[in-house]
Amino acid sequence: MTEKDIRKYINRLNSGKGQESIFTRPISRTVEISKVWPAQPKSTDPIIGGFIVSYRFFFIKNTVGNYIGAILDMNSDLHWYIKPNQRKKGHLTKALREAVLPFLFNSEREKQLITIQKGIGKENYSNSKNVALKLGFKPINVEETKFELKESDFNWDYENIIDQIKPMSSERIEQLIKKVSYASKILSKVSDELKIAYNEDKGLSRASLKVNGCVWKIEDFKYNLGNDK
């Protein structure tokens, strides 16, 4: 994951064009947890090595609601990026201190590691290191490129999580229902072709019915949305 990729996701959110690939939910006034799909699945994707995985991000907003940075959660490491014109304003420290680290530690993560490579430049390395030290991270190697913060050493005084469910519109839920229904029909079609050719489908017809049953589970969200109004 490059800085160019992260900038692309930030720009996509600011332009309102991330609906089909970036799913967000606020966990504080300036931080949103997110699942990001780097590409859309296609029927032409290769079978071997073509599996697309999503990434978990925490996107950072400024006080007027613009996205100005992001933190990629790689479990054993965190990779952050702040737009150049928004650096040295405390956005990153505030996001990590108030929301991101409390969220991770509340998720039963006992410690967090980060890597700060000196190859990012002297100034960038120094800035990132200062952020880490302010938060309580301690260097764990001689080169001071790897830092660790244990949950037991974290200062919870600044924690300010406001984790909220982010309801979808009924129109968006309908779109998701159509996607699941389509997936069920594709499985059923493949099942029929296999049955004609081999008199066996290895359980695909049952899988199709199971996927189709998920349509009604998504319908429940629409029903709950109506009750919440």
pLDDT tens digit string along 72-114? 999 889 999 999 999 989 999 999 999 999 999 998 889 999 9
- Categorize the per-residue pLDDT at 52 as very low, low, confident or very high, splitting at 50, 70 and 90: confident
Mean pLDDT of the chain: 90
**Residue-by-residue DSSP string for the chain:** --HHHHHHHHHHHHTT--TTTEEEEESSSSEEEEEE-SS---TTS-SSS-----EEEEEEE-TTS-EEEEEEE-SS-EEEEE-GGGTTSSHHHHHIIIIIHHHHHHTT--EEEEE--GGG-HHHHHHHHHHHHHHT-EE-STTS-EEEEEGGG--GGG--------PPPHHHHHHHHHHHHHHHHHHHHHHHHHHHHHS--TTHHHHHHHHHHHHHHHHHHHHHHHHH-
- pLDDT at position 34: 96
Name the pLDDT band for 229 (thresholds 50, 70, 90): very low
The predicted-structure confidence for 150-196, as pLDDT tens digits, reads as follows: 999 999 999 999 877 878 888 999 999 999 999 999 999 999 999 99
Pairwise pLDDT comparison (227 vs 50), residue with the higher score: 50
Q: Which fold has domain 3-158?
A: Aminopeptidase (3.40.630)
